[in-house]
Structure 1
Amino acid sequence: MGTTVFERQRPAASVVQHSLAQAKHAVFWRDDLPQSLTPDRPSLAGTTGADLVVVGGGYTGLWTALLATEREPDARVVVLEAQRVGWAASGRNGGFCEASLTHGRENGMARWPREMPTLERLGRENLAAIEASESRYGMDFQFERTGQLAPAVEPHQVEWLEEWAAEGEEGVVFLDRSEAQAAVHSPTYLAAVWERNTCGMVHPARMAAELARVCEERGVEIFERTRVTGLDTSGPGVVAVTEGGRVEASRAALGTNVFPSVIKRNRLMTVPVYDYVLMTEPLTDAQLASVGWQDRQGIGDLANQFHYYRLSKDNRILFGGYDAIYRYGRRVDPAYEHRPETWQKLASHFFTTFPQLEGLRFTHQWAGAIDTSTQFTAFFGTARDRRVAYAAGFTGLGVGSTRFAGEVMLDLLDGVSNERTELEMVRKRPLPFPPEPAASIGINATRWSLDRADHNGGRRNLLLKTLDALGLGFDS
């Protein structure tokens, strides 16, 4: 087995230790929110009525609520959030807002090749609508249409980039070694592809907070610290039962992400995979000049165990990914967010990528759970005689596609037939994950195989080839 560049060019242990010495375990994005965007909303007490009750106060639920007010301005919409608005994945992700609805073109082509022209067009339209929503609603979530850079950091990845660029996609630019290193000054870069138009950077927590603010301005009621314990559909509508009250509604939309669904048949459809991230202190002008990065692209390398990184508005570098940890039992547990060995590994990889930034410190380290599905992108459906719609399984690419999911759920509740609801991606459910212990054995064997492929010129073993053939291939 070979080694990767992150093993061949490790920084000194003292560099890593110094960089992490003052990092606090907290989500930078939430720390960066002004108090005006973090009102302390009440919990639900007693009984209230609604036309639509939305479960989940992250992107999926908030976009659904906002879009519902567009469709029916007089409708009463209630959002129920178990913690705080944007507390989970929506407030702690990397802020990559992509046009892709299918977790990348390769994943989409492997699953829905005939639909890909439609899916790609709908994805571009969805991203444009998100970008336009800042001015439309007077929001500020720091959207930058930067595109995304995909660097090769191992020799076998250069051929992948050349094949990708040869497909002739609009806005895809191939950069050779000198051009890649001129764009972003990393000695690890052997080549790169720049997707110029299909990704924007956002401030994740601001996006959730601004969506909530605009929803409330449009009459939506949001209750925080209000956990939904069940849905009662014995009557004509839907009753969302909480620990302190109930919402009697005509319809319900579920945006529960990684948390156990209140629809029992969806309990095996996702597993929580923990992702870890670091945030640096702001770079000085000299430090920023030393890394170039004038076009501020989001960056994601090509390994199976990949890194993603980007610049914040105040020129910090967020650096995350690589380790994706599944724990036996598929529980979501805050204790799983503390993993010093992963933060140390990420810091080491950071200084391999940018050795010129030696001495830079990280101010924040955190983690969060990703709602992973077997098709590596969201699935949709209805339950309880089409009174309840759901979307989940975004697998780490939900910043943009949650808005599309809101449109789909409202379409399904309205019973309309259109190009969204007729998509095979919408009509068919993916395979569920098996129960334990099979889930843990399979997921961890897959992760081991992906790491082995990264150390073996990208060559996939029999397990990965079998998963690919079954439509369960994990390629990123």
Structure 2
Amino acid sequence: MTTPSVAPRLPPWWLDEAGRQTAAPKLEGDVTADVCIVGGGFTGLWTALALRERAPSLQIALVESETCGAGPSGRNGGFLHGYWAGLADLLPLLGRERAVQLARAAEQIVPAVRSFCESRGEDVWLRESGVLMVSASPSQDDAVERAVAAAAEVDAGEQAVPLDANRVAERIRSPVFRRGVYFREGATVQPARLVQALRRAVMDAGVELYEQTPALRINAGHVATPRGNVRAPEIVVAINAAATGWRPVARHVTNFGSYVVLTEPVPELLEEIGWTGGEAVLDARMFLHYFRTTADGRVLMGSGSGPIGFRGRVDERFTSDNPTAARAEHGLRRLLPALAEARVERAWGGPIDVSADHLPFFGTVKGKRIHYGMGYSGHGVGPTWLGGQILASLVQRRDDEWTALPLASRKVASLPPEPFKHLGGALVRSSILACERADEENRRASLPARLGAALPRLFRMEIGTR
């Protein structure tokens, strides 16, 4: 399949379902603040709320180029979780102590979102049903086994429960699911509803929000916009994928495209396959498929196999790439054949900021009070809450539990400079896709494809979305 049933387009269905909100005023003229936050997605909004909670007297200005949630925060799959599901990759990267430190800290994410929603009476379709990783081919079995072994290694076996094919089928039935592992820490949300709830909270807290106000230049103490300026001693850059070409971080991150397809409501088909518990599901490919249900019985299937960026440009390849949307739809039909008659109604895509080691990173530009956070690598809905705490602590010059986390204290791996980053990434991407196609077809991939797919591991880098 090279052409999807429905061409990808914006806005995403999430924003349509949540309902559009009237944009906040544009910045007109010059303003001063204690803190200026650039970016009105999850990271920027959580940072604003964390700062307001800690220091109610701070004057905070937030500038957003479109409207809050118009970017990746309103387009993603809505998987809300921390790092137990990624422990097998964290252990060799961080070591036992720091990996567990991060996983334990991230256990606060789902309760924090729940508490936020309950305190404000917000319905963001929060469903705390855990995350299920399934193996859909022999080559994926190892990832499942590694996840179980990693949790056992740190005496946290309850965080990764192994499931044989029969126990997987108790949660979701598919003839291609061989085995799985269930992570109890996890939930799903309607991401546009969550970002709009955060936006309302930020405005209610007295943060000065300026939408349709892109930052043209960011310098120490100064953010220039088309029709005004913000002068603030502390600046937070929270634009994630849009910042991958920004000089202070460009060597550590690149963009990949991720696309989803969404079916019509099919609650009766979900009953037939027993997928009524609301689990978030992903397979164990390198360019993974991720899938979930919605409150009205639709199925969303995503593929993180889209094009790789070049010099930080976010162009139509990240919103209009038919082949990647087609791969998402192919994943729907292959992984859930009982949904063969389910009509795909919508498709959309967006960029994800992928770091060299697949972990987000946070820091401060040397010699300047400009703070940043990015590199969520397709797993940002939950960790952006951690990011808000970390960035608030960086603004406040705190050495605390948040800035001590590996997300803010590790040495971040580097990627090659352009154009080698793009060319090498494109080669590896095509090699991995060729290997995964061969795997689905029960054949051995060609030697060049296998060699290309192995390159990132040789240089201790992570490519892909798992």
Question: Do they fold alike, i.e. is TM over 0.5?
Answer: yes
Aligned to 1:467: 456
1:138 equivalent in structure 2: 121
Kindly tell me the number of residue pairs found equivalent between the two proteins: 452
Distance 1:369 1:158 in 2: 29
**Residues 200 and 187 of structure 1: is their aligned pair in 2 closer, same or farther, counting only changes over 3 Å?**
same
Residues 147 and 27 of structure 1: is their aligned pair in 2 closer, same or farther, counting only changes over 3 Å? same
Partner of 2:14: 29
Contact 2:257/2:317 (CA < 8 Å) preserved in 1?
Answer: no
- 2:190 pairs with one of 200, 203, 226: 203
Superposition misfits of 4+ residues, deviation over 4 angstroms: 21-25, 456-466
1:418 aligned counterpart, secondary structure:
coil
Correspondences of 1:328-367 after superposition (within 5 Å): 328-334=310-316, 336-367=318-349
> Counterpart of 1:5?
none
Shift of 1:180: 1.5
Equivalent position SS for 1:293: coil
Shift of 1:384: 5.8
Alignment match, 1:122: 105
Measure how far apart 1:94 and its partner are.
0.2
Alignment partner for residue 173 of structure 1, among 158, 161, 165?
A: 161
| Equivalent residues of 2:67, 2:212 under 8 A apart | yes
Query: Given the superposition, is the C-alpha separation of residues 148 and 88 from structure 1 closer, same or farther in structure 2, using an over 3 Å criterion?
Result: same
For residues 46-75 of structure 1, the C-alpha deviation after alignment (integer angstroms, 9 at most, x for no partner) is 011211110000000000001111011121
CA distance in 2, matches of 1:131, 1:111: 30
Q: Does 1:325 align with 2:312?
A: no
Equivalent in the alignment of 1:421: 403
Q: Which amino acid aligns with 1:318?
A: L
C-alpha RMSD of matched pairs (Å): 2.5
CA deviations over 1:106-132 (Å, ceiling 9, x no partner): 221121113112111101023321222
Contact 1:386 1:412 in 2 (8 A): no
Query: Contact (CA 8 Å) 2:257, 2:304: kept in 1 or not?
Result: no
Rounded Cα–Cα distance in structure 2 between residues aligned with 1:428 and 1:173: 29
C-alpha displacement of 1:345: 3.0
> What letter matches 1:59 in structure 2?
F
Q: CA deviation at 1:159?
A: 4.6
Mind listing any 5+ residue stretches in structure 2 that lack a counterpart? none
- The answer as to whether partners of 1:216 and 1:222 remain within 8 angstroms in 2 is yes
Query: Could you tell me how far apart the structure 1 residues matched to 2:372 and 2:141 are?
Result: 40
**Corresponding residue for residue 184 of structure 1:** 172
| SS at 1:228 equivalent | coil
Cα 1:49–1:330 shift into 2, 3 Å: closer
Paired residues of 1:67 and 1:406 also in contact (CA < 8 A): yes
Does residue 1:91 correspond to 2:80, yes or no?
no
CA distance, structure 1, for counterparts of residue 126 and residue 337 of structure 2: 29
1:354 positional shift? 2.2
**Partner letter of residue 31 of structure 1?**
D
| Aligned 1:17-416 pairs, distance under 5 A | 20=5, 26-35=11-20, 38-100=21-83, 104-113=86-95, 114-166=97-149, 167-168=151-152, 169-196=157-184, 198-233=185-220, 238-260=221-243, 264-284=247-267, 286-334=268-316, 336-383=318-365, 385-416=367-398
Tell me how far 1:202 sits from its aligned partner.
0.6
3-state SS of paired residue (1:398): coil
Q: Deviations over 1:210-259 (max 9, x none)?
A: 101011001011111111112343xxxx1211111011213111101111
Aligned partner letter, 1:373: S
Cα offsets for 1:393-414 (capped at 9, x unmatched): 1111110111111111121222
Question: Following the alignment from structure 1 to structure 2, what is the Cα–Cα distance between the partners of residues 240 and 271?
Answer: 24
User: How many Å apart are 1:105 and its aligned residue?
Assistant: 1.0
State which drifts further: 186-195 or 347-356.
347-356
Contact 1:26-1:364 within 8 A present in 2 as well: no
Q: TM-score, normalised by structure 2?
A: 0.90
Q: Which amino acid aligns with 2:181?
A: V
Name the % identity.
26
Partners of 2:281 and 2:246 in 1: CA distance: 36
Q: Quote the Cα distance in structure 1 between the aligned partners of 2:222 and 2:6.
A: 49
Amino acid in the other structure paired with 2:330: S
| Change in 2 beyond 3 A, CA 1:134/1:215 | same
1:124 counterpart letter in structure 2: E
Contact 2:242 2:312 in 1 (8 A): no
Counterpart in the other structure of 1:8: none
Residues 373 and 393, structure 1, Cα contact 8 Å, conserved in 2: yes
Q: Return 112-121 or 205-214, whichever deviates more.
A: 112-121
**Structure 1 residues 263 and 452: alpha-carbon distance in aligned structure 2, compared to 1, 3 A threshold:** closer
Cα distance in 2 for residues equivalent to 1:333 and 1:260:
13
Q: Is the 8 A contact 2:431 2:450 kept in 1?
A: yes
2:424 is matched with: 442
Query: Does the Cα contact within 8 Å between 2:9 and 2:319 map onto a contact in 1?
Result: no
Deviates more, 1:152-161 or 1:219-228: 152-161
What's the secondary structure of 1:436's corresponding residue?
Answer: coil
Structure 1 residues 388 and 329, CA gap change in structure 2 (3 angstroms): closer
Query: Are 1:23 and 1:363, in contact at CA under 8 Å, matched by a contact in 2?
Result: no
Kept after mapping to 2: 8 A contact 1:181/1:187:
no
Residue 323 of structure 1 aligns to a residue whose secondary structure is: coil
Measured at CA, do residues 73 and 137 of structure 1 come closer, stay the same or move farther in structure 2, by a change above 3 Å?
farther
Deviation at 1:430, TM superposition (A): 1.8
Return the offset for 1:140.
2.4
Task: Give the conservation status (yes or no) of the 8 Å contact 1:276–1:321.
Answer: yes
Secondary structure at the residue paired with 2:462? coil
CA pair 419-466 structure 1, distance change in 2 beyond 3 A: farther
Please list the CA deviations of residues 276-332 of structure 1 after superposition, one character each: whole Å capped at 9, or x if unmatched.
110111114x22211211211000001112100000111110001152311444410
**What SS is found at the alignment partner of 1:303?**
coil
1:326–1:444: 8 Å Cα contact kept in structure 2? yes
User: 2:187 is matched by which residue type in structure 1?
Assistant: G
**How much has 1:391 moved relative to structure 2?**
0.5
Equivalent residue letter for 1:155: P
Cα distance between partner residues in 2 of 1:378 and 1:265: 15
